[in-house]
Amino acid sequence: MPTFFRAVRVLDAQMDVRWDDGIVALGAEGSLSPRPGDVEVHGGLVTPPFAEPHVHLDAALLGARAPNVSGTLREGIANWARLRGGLTHEDVTTRARDTIEMYRSWGVLRWRTHVDTGSAVAVRALLALRDKTPGMQVVAFPQEGIFRAPGRREAWEAAVRAGCDAVGAIPHFERTTEEGWASVRLAFALARELGLRVDLHCDETDDPGSRNLEVVCAEATHGDVSHVLAGHCTAMHSYPDPYAAKVCELVATSGVQVVANPLDNVVLQGRYDGYPKRRGITRVDELWAAGAAVGIGHDSVMDPWYRLGTGNLLDAAYMLVHVGHLTGEAEMKRVVRTLHTENHLPFGSVPRIAVGAPSLLHWPVPDEVELLRLRPRPTVYERRDA
């Protein structure tokens, strides 16, 4: 439906925007006029669509089938391992599709999902869904490591070769520090061989001795992998400050993108602490100061690790500004803008509000801070062939 947006907020400006199966005109407030037949929308905020850089669609919506009694990461992994054996192609596909629809209703139009390579059923189901779902990517994620038991490395490599978009790993979960580093190097070698991206669960622990991120940066510095993402990096919260400063600089100079997953990590980390309990969040402010790219993931949607969540990335952003001390005016804006800028980097392009754009979100709020405060649903405008 042709639509004329009068006096809407676009970043820091008041604009008029005309939509007719794509953005067809854009100008300062008062500079454009509606065409006969246009639906008129007055005021509000217009942004590009959001992107989800880190979710587990194979496990989504499974939380109620095996409630996590202790609320811990370890029990989540154990419950998932039990459920995993009973997965069917149809079950994985249905839950993944339903979760994607939840995301869509919140304006999220790209999804990078991890798939546990311990389930060949889940790998096949999510790759088949990916082939029918524009904007979806799949990471081969060895939930229980690749060196800890026979057959895991082979299953992981088979999943990568079956057509995943990125190679995953979980170095902090391998038996030894050396095996963790070896898993990182193996992931990069496989990505180089097949021309894939790299996306690791990296140092998702409170152990300040978990130092895989520096190895990821060293590998990324070769520059022969198109995009490298390190998820979680919560150990950085507990690193000694001089070491954290070194790693933040390495992240920035190597071009590695860190993705924080504040909804999961604020409840899954700090579980070995008495009081005070650590927040389990990577150092977003220091990464920004170093010039690094940071994304924000929802991670779990009602799964064995985190029973809550709706697929609204603004909830993850809201949690991040709280636990990351990012409630300064400019910081809150930057967190919101991350959802439609840096969150798209894993997909290779960042959408903008410009003539020719195939999609936009219209929000019933006057500005980005109100967007974060209220976290409402947007109206999603998408080109019919988009």
Instruction: Tell me how crowded residue 327 is: count the other CB atoms within 10 A of its CB.
Output: 12
Helix, strand, coil percentages, rounded to 5, for the chain: 40, 20, 40
Considering the complex, state which of residue 199 and residue 342 has its C-beta at the smaller distance from Zn ion: 199
Phi, psi of 281, deg, nearest 5:
-135, 140
Residue 262 CB, nearest approach to Zn ion (Å)? 12
User: Using CB under 5 A, which residues numbered 186 to 215 contact Zn ion?
Assistant: none
Residue 315 CB, nearest approach to Zn ion (Å)? 16
User: Using CB under 5 A, which residues numbered 247 to 306 contact Zn ion?
Assistant: 299
Q: Helical H runs in the chain?
A: 73-84, 89-105, 120-132, 152-161, 177-194, 213-220, 235-238, 241-254, 262-268, 284-290, 313-323, 329-338, 368-374
Considering the complex, state which of residue 174 and residue 299 has its C-beta at the smaller distance from Zn ion: 299
User: Using CB under 5 A, which residues numbered 79 to 138 contact Zn ion?
Assistant: none
Instruction: Tell me how crowded residue 293 is: count the other CB atoms within 10 A of its CB.
Output: 21
How would you classify residue 65: left for phi > 0, otherwise alpha for psi between -120 and 50, otherwise beta?
alpha
Considering the complex, state which of residue 58 and residue 368 has its C-beta at the smaller distance from Zn ion: 58
User: Using CB under 5 A, which residues numbered 327 to 386 contact Zn ion?
Assistant: none
| Contact mark string toward Zn ion, 297..336, x via CB under 5 A | --x-------------------------------------
52, 144, 174, 204: the catalytic one is 204
- Identity of the amino acid at 371: L
- DSSP reduced 3-state for 280: coil
- Enter the DSSP assignment of 263: H
Considering the complex, state which of residue 44 and residue 311 has its C-beta at the smaller distance from Zn ion: 311
Residue 55 CB, nearest approach to Zn ion (Å)? 8
Per the listing, tokens 């080109």 go with 383
Residue closest to Zn ion when measured from CB atoms: 299
Burial string for 102-134 (b: 16+ CB within 10 Å, else e) reads: bbbebbbbbbbbbbbbbbebbbbbbbebbeeee
204 as an active site residue: the answer is yes
Residues 20, 27: contact at Cβ < 8 Å? no
Residue 169 CB, nearest approach to Zn ion (Å)? 12
Considering the complex, state which of residue 299 and residue 368 has its C-beta at the smaller distance from Zn ion: 299
Number of residues that bind Zn ion (CB under 5 A): 1
Nearest to 116 by CA among 147, 85, 148, 150: 85
Residue 361 CB, nearest approach to Zn ion (Å)? 25
Residue 362 CB, nearest approach to Zn ion (Å)? 31
Considering the complex, state which of residue 299 and residue 342 has its C-beta at the smaller distance from Zn ion: 299
Contact positions vs Zn ion (CB under 5 A): 299
Q: Which residues are catalytic?
A: 204
